[in-house]
Amino acid sequence: MRFRAQAWRRLREWQDAGVWDRLHQLVLDELSNIDELDWTRGCIDAVSVRSKRGAS
């Protein structure tokens, strides 16, 4: 049980420190550098894009 709490605490610390965001950017950069990133198949999900109230 103590291991699980320690793991969650460490994950939270890494999230707060921006580790996952930096790792994600590094992976995207590396894929782009070797021409393995194809944005033609990308999409934006409305759940992750905020809109202003009353916007059409």
**Boundaries of every domain in the chain:** 2-48
Predicted local confidence at residue 49, as pLDDT: 62
7 token code pair: 């793991």
pTM: 0.57
* pLDDT given for residue 25 in this prediction: 94
Measured distance CA(45)–CA(56) in Å, rounded: 17
CA distance 3 to 14: 16
- E strand or H helix at 26: helix 19-33
- Work out the burial of residue 27: count CB atoms within 10 Å of its CB; fewer than 13 is exposed, 13-18 middle, 19 or more buried: exposed
pLDDT tens by residue, 1-56? 788 899 999 999 999 999 999 999 999 999 989 998 887 877 777 676 667 776 66
